[in-house]
Amino acid sequence: MTTLGLVVAQFNRPITEQMEEVALEAATDAGAEVYETVRVPGAYDAPLAADRLARLEEVDAVVVIGSVITGDTDHDQVISDATAQRLSDVSLERDTPVTLGVTGPGMSAAEARERVENAAKAVDGAIDLVSELPDP
């Protein structure tokens, strides 16, 4: 059985709450276990939590979910780019799959609500990576 760590961004909570439910359901449906869930203020804060979870021997992969909604500036692009880069770094540095279930940038709140199922894709991707990657 694959054991997952789950990081959930709290910013845009009405959307990420739905994403968390979808992620937990996807894990259950796939026969995976969520070992621990860490809630962080926003997507930008997720890499530290993902790194801590990836250090745990019990965790096979980390799933990060969140939603970055566009505003009047390029802030959403900056947050998304930085988050994706650091999560990739965590995955490589810890030799642990870390999947990006963060929607955005460039989305309205309505578009983000339409993409809550991306959380399931992040769970599925984490499980697939664990099963496909050869042991080091």
For the segment 66-90, the average pLDDT, to the nearest whole number, is: 94
pLDDT at 73 over 90: no
Q: Give the tens place of pLDDT for each residue, 102-127.
A: 999 999 999 999 999 999 999 999 99
Annotation says 87 is catalytic: no
Q: Is 126 left (phi over 0), alpha (psi -120 to 50) or beta?
A: alpha
Looking at residue 136, its pLDDT comes to 76
User: What is the number of residues in the chain?
Assistant: 136
Looking at residue 57, its pLDDT comes to 97
For the segment 91-99, the average pLDDT, to the nearest whole number, is: 98
For the segment 60-89, the average pLDDT, to the nearest whole number, is: 95
- Provide CB contacts within 8 A for 126, sequence distance 6+: 2, 4, 60, 61, 62, 63, 97, 98, 99
The structure's pTM equals: 0.96
Place 86 in a pLDDT band, splitting at 50, 70 and 90. Answer: very high
CA distance 119 to 22: 6
Looking at residue 71, its pLDDT comes to 83
CA distance 50 to 5: 8
Q: Give the tens place of pLDDT for each residue, 15-65.
A: 999 999 999 999 999 999 999 999 999 999 999 999 999 999 999 999 999
Looking at residue 15, its pLDDT comes to 97
Active-site pick, 21, 25, 75, 82: 75
